[in-house]
Amino acid sequence: MKKITVIGTGYVGLVSGAGISDFGHSVTCVDIDESKISSLENGKIPIYEQGLESLVKRNVEAKRLFFSSNVAAEVEKADVVFIAVGTPQDNNGTADISAVLKASETIGSSLNGYKVICTKSTVPIGTGRKVIEAIKNNAGSSAMFDYVSNPEFLREGAAVQDFTHPDRVVIGAETQKAFEFMKDVYHPLYINETPIIHTNIETAEMIKYASNAFLALKISYINEIANFCEEVNADVFHVAKAMGLDGRISPKFLHPGPGYGGSCFPKDTNALASQAESAGVPLKTIQGAIDANTNQKSRMVDKLRILLDDSFNGKRIAVLGLSFKPETDDVRESSSISMISALLNESATVCAYDPVSNDNMSSFFSKVSYQNSVYDAVKDANAAVVMTDWNEFRSMDIPRIKSLMKTAVILDTRNILNITELDENGIVYDNVGRKPRAK
């Protein structure tokens, strides 16, 4: 058993810390935000993530998981220190690593013996060298540590499952001692023969960015194919299904929609493209995906505008789904933000409903009327737009929806509603890449 300190109690830090404690290690998650630590100590989880609350509770009760706001003290106690602080996008599209470097300085000044310092935060290629320098500058030339890049591959909504049952573990370590330390941290995965990829630091950093950018590229690709399908009387549902049956392609991320969002894909694609541009090797495919994603969000607004005779003015619109994907309350870069902004800017009244994200979206839009159910949201609406593919939206009572709406108009940006049922109930609708019902 190793003593682990995780700096940062956000999405990555909390999931990783709880997951590592479940492997049998003693883990302390630390944060300079004392109110967040106090909430965690009182059993309050700051994010909505399936299985996380029970994972935290189980390991706190087993006395393997602890919380503290004293970063320096917990670094001193640790064998391994994980950096899992935020790296938000700055004004020029690159990742802001100031919090990573600040944590590194604290680590350096708190070194009291050999430790492995490991970055979990998503950082630009080359950040590891800066972390090493920051630690040395604050610890002195006699500092004993190894540095490791250990990127996370956690899907919001399935993060606990992804951490405990990963496709692979990437360890960017340049000494065998550090690699063996990390193998011990992930011992349950190692004995279960989870692939553990040993690389140098820069390669590990690149793997994270390259993986996320590829998935974003795949989403943008199928979205553009869907848009083309609409012009040539093809059905993207069947196109994507047939493509996915090809083992070289796979069906994952071949689901057209309103554009990707969340805390990772927009930030990571921009950061990778910006860094590559600075290095003189522009990534034209990734820039294309970024541009296509921006266009896709605008296209959804245009689709709704056409359904409403080219005007939102004075119309009441129900927005169903606010999070960027189901099973999370994260609304960062959600396509719903673009949709609601356009509606409010053109003098529409917006009623919205999401199973878990109403409060988070209210920090963006105070003038939206947030409702407690789908049926409350669509009452007297001129149109409804499905923005997130929550399961409860798949099973909506369409006749009831029609009876509640002022005009039966639905834009299904996630292609989760049954076209036949919409037709049978006389709903005027549109979707993404499938044939709409004519008005």
Question: Annotated catalytic sites, by residue?
Answer: 264
Task: Report yes or no: 158 and 327 within 8 Å, Cβ to Cβ.
Answer: yes
Q: Give the distance, in angstroms, between the CA of residue 350 and the centroid of all CA atoms in the same chain.
A: 25
Element (H, E) at 6: strand 3-7
- The residues pairing with 411 across neighbouring beta strands, listed in sequence order, are 385, 430
50/59 Cα distance (integer angstroms):
16
Closest to 79 in 3D by CA, of 105, 118, 109, 108: 118
439/426 Cα distance (integer angstroms):
10
Reduced to 3 states, what is the DSSP secondary structure of residue 53? Answer: helix
DSSP 222-262: HHHHHHHHHHHT--HHHHHHHHHTSTTT-STT----S---S
Edge-to-edge strands, sheet with 80-83: 65-68, 26-30, 3-7, 80-83, 115-119, 145-149, 169-173, 196-199
3/78 Cα distance (integer angstroms):
5
Task: Report yes or no: 4 and 28 within 8 Å, Cβ to Cβ.
Answer: yes
Q: Give the distance, in angstroms, between the CA of residue 408 and the centroid of all CA atoms in the same chain.
A: 33
Mapping DSSP onto H, E and C, the string for 185-217 reads HCHHHHHCCCCEEEECHHHHHHHHHHHHHHHHH
134/197 Cα distance (integer angstroms):
26
Q: Which residues contact 296 (CB under 8 A, 6 or more apart)?
A: 220, 223, 227, 257, 258, 259, 335
Element (H, E) at 284: helix 284-307
Residue with the two structure tokens 């106690």? 77
